[in-house]
Structure 1
Amino acid sequence: MKPEKTLLLSQSDVVSLLAMDAAIAAVEAAFAAYGRGEAAMPPKVYLGLPAHDGDLRAMPAYAEGAAGVKWVNSHPKNPARFGLPSVMGLYILSDPATAAPLAVMDATRLTAVRTGAAAAIASKHLARQSARTLGFIGCGVQARFLLDAHRAVYGDRLEVLTADASPEASERFAAEAGGRAVSVEEASGCDILCTSTPARAPVVRRAWVRPGAHINAMGADAPGKQELDPEILRDARVIIDDWAQATESGEVNVPLHEGAMHREHIQGTLGEVVAGKLAGRGDAAITVFDSTGLAIQDVALARVIYAAARERDVGTAFDFFG
């Protein structure tokens, strides 16, 4: 039996098909499935490209009847060198019964949306309900999606404070968000803080973080990266997205390898929290979500995008095996 044609979906197609509300629902369900042990996700595979100041990553997963793999990069110097995004990706969605490729789609937008969704889901489960301020350290492309996702959960009630190594980037984002550009110290004092930088040394000091804060540490996604003072992690209830990935490439990777913290201090995964197997905030003064980005998030959104494309007759059919 000849496989059906594969649906090719461009970035503009993905943009038209994927709303943040739907993305949050799909990603939250994927976290819950993973927390219940109902999804398969081998650890992310890294192909380091030090000569090009970047890397490539392969991220396969199976969840809720969908299977696929994302091929994505991280090249922080791309914008300055080539005028290209620092992150680009493709997603191959396969029929798990036959392995036939159902769709090949842009995963650049998918990655940004699912990352924003994961942070907002973490805030929903780990931040105090009385949160009133939302801080951003790192005001690049990802910060826009972090903001969109939090507004999908919280509406417009959170005051937005922005900080960046580039004052111009911070002011631009603040103007877009209707917020205020502030110092890194002031942003660090917000009720909910999202960090999304490529830092390899802490940019947020323990003294700046107030009791009651929740931090989404989104930037550390490779060995050697870190954004937070290890004292923050030692004083916080730490929730990770995945044990294998976070301990090798997440915010906790450097403190663990340097002995500044121990595995026993990590409480568990966000999937366990969402599935109701692990308490969320409890009486913790500070909570931290350490996000490395999970393949189950990607396959969940790819499934949503593909279903919407079929329903709306969007995309281009292509016969790879003709």
Structure 2
Amino acid sequence: MQRETLLLNATDVKQNAPMSEVVPAVEDAFAAFQRGDAQMPAKSYIELPQYNGDFRSMPAYLDAGSWDAAGIKWVNVHPDNHDQFDLPTVLGTMIYSDPETAFPLAILDGRELTMQRTGAAAAVATDHLAVSDASSLGIVGAGVQSYTQLEAISQIRPIETVFVADRNEKRVTKFIETFDTETEFDVHAGSIGDAAGCDILSTVTPVEDPIVPREAVGDDTHINAMGADAPGKHELADEILSDAMIIIDDYEQTTHSGEINVPWQANQLDENDINASVGEVVVDQHSGRKDKTGISVFDSTGLAIQDVAAAHIVYKHARANNNGYDFDLLGFAETH
């Protein structure tokens, strides 16, 4: 029986998160949740207005059939961190546990884990909702979440052309330079219109005023709306949502803090406008795109089951590769 807890920093997490395995693991998590083989209490918030921030706790357990896993992510959003403390806006810690014994198998950097599972979630949705021959990807927002959008989506579609748009030119330059050696991608700086006209569009910004206009979106574009994670955030023009097939990750979270939250609270959208959850699509309770035409939108708020699924893959590979740092969290060496 495992007696030591594995500490995995951001580098360890990234090195042990092959997208070729994280994407299907996250798809398994969506399926387990839809089948009722997962437990995921609602995300809870601790508001800290005196620090212009908040904490969020995200626990989950899932049984994917051939494996099961449990864990909890403790994450925050502190917008002043960068300017005042030279720290990331979002930090996070994941505790990954053995469901049978509750032993803490690993403590992982939750920030890198979130990037990996967020990209994987977009890839799962894209696989079921984008046109089958999609080869162009637009990304609006060149922050830390943008990289795994390309890394994950290129696992399930033959992406050739990429347009990345961000008002911060340094971020765009860094993104292009990162993928400059990847010969299969032709990456360009572009406008929001360039990005929105692609076969697939991923939006990963924190804006509260929509920045993607309806007229910019291609006739059959699939959109991964990944940026909204709090009430008031809203990246897409309301006309896009009213015209699109809307697929959500979780009803409570998306109506509270997802891309649809603003028009939902304004009674511009209701239950009849939500076509399905991604879990329903994955287990074939909803057809997804199939032969349908038109715009589709995946409203993603990020689920704890995704974190647990990604942590499962990372832990498995870290153990196999002898990565990370083992430590005696429970003091077995002293008491036995």
Aligned partner of 2:183 in structure 1 is none
Aligned partner of 2:23 in structure 1 is 24
Aligned partner of 2:55 in structure 1 is 56
Contact 1:24 1:121 in 2 (8 A): yes
> What's the CA shift for 1:164?
0.8
For residues 261-291 of structure 1, what are the alpha-carbon distances to aligned partners after superposition, in whole Å with 9 as ceiling and x for unaligned? 1122101111111111111114241100000
Q: Which amino acid aligns with 2:85?
A: F
Aligned partner of 2:115 in structure 1 is 112
> What's the CA shift for 1:201?
1.1
> What's the CA shift for 1:175?
4.3
Q: 2:216 aligned with 1:208, yes or no?
A: yes
Q: 2: distance between equivalents of 1:262 and 1:220?
A: 18
> What's the CA shift for 1:303?
1.4
> What's the CA shift for 1:235?
0.4
Q: Which amino acid aligns with 1:7?
A: L
Q: 2:189 aligned with 1:164, yes or no?
A: no
| Gapped regions of structure 2 (runs ≥ 5) | 180-185, 332-336
> What's the CA shift for 1:28?
1.3
Q: What SS does the corresponding residue of 2:56 show, helix, strand or coil?
A: strand
Q: 1: distance between equivalents of 2:169 and 2:318?
A: 40
Q: 2:252 aligned with 1:230, yes or no?
A: no
Question: Alignment length, in residue pairs?
Answer: 320
> What's the CA shift for 1:176?
3.6
Q: Which amino acid aligns with 1:121?
A: V
Aligned residue among 123, 126, 134 for 1:123: 126
For residues 128-182 of structure 1, what are the alpha-carbon distances to aligned partners after superposition, in whole Å with 9 as ceiling and x for unaligned? 1132321011011110111111222224x33101111223322432344441211
TM-score, normalised with respect to structure 2: 0.90
Aligned residue among 80, 87, 91 for 2:83: 80
Q: 1: distance between equivalents of 2:188 and 2:97?
A: 44
Aligned partner of 1:217 in structure 2 is 225
Aligned partner of 1:195 in structure 2 is 203
Q: 1: distance between equivalents of 2:321 and 2:178?
A: 31
Q: 1: distance between equivalents of 2:175 and 2:284?
A: 35
Q: Which amino acid aligns with 1:144?
A: Y
Q: 2: distance between equivalents of 1:154 and 1:284?
A: 18
> What's the CA shift for 1:15?
2.2
Q: 2: distance between equivalents of 1:172 and 1:131?
A: 25
Q: What SS does the corresponding residue of 2:235 show, helix, strand or coil?
A: strand
Aligned partner of 1:149 in structure 2 is 152
Distance 1:127 1:315, change over 3 A: same
Q: 2: distance between equivalents of 1:132 and 1:307?
A: 32
Contact 2:135 2:157 in 1 (8 A): no
Q: Which amino acid aligns with 1:139?
A: A
Q: Which amino acid aligns with 1:159?
A: T
Q: 2: distance between equivalents of 1:221 and 1:170?
A: 23
**1:250-265 residue pairs with structure 2 within 5 A?**
250-265=258-273
Displacement over 6 Å in runs of 4+: none
TM-score, normalised with respect to structure 1: 0.94
| Gapped regions of structure 1 (runs ≥ 5) | none
Aligned residue among 296, 302, 312 for 1:293: 302
Contact 1:161 1:174 in 2 (8 A): no
Contact 2:132 2:157 in 1 (8 A): no
Q: 1: distance between equivalents of 2:92 and 2:105?
A: 17
> What's the CA shift for 1:245?
0.8
Mean CA deviation greater in 281-290 or 238-247: 281-290
Aligned residue among 173, 176, 179 for 1:174: 176
> What's the CA shift for 1:310?
2.6
Identity %: 49
Distance 1:133 1:91, change over 3 A: same
Q: 2: distance between equivalents of 1:147 and 1:84?
A: 25
Distance 1:6 1:176, change over 3 A: closer
Aligned partner of 2:252 in structure 1 is 244
Distance 1:83 1:289, change over 3 A: same
Q: What SS does the corresponding residue of 1:79 show, helix, strand or coil?
A: helix
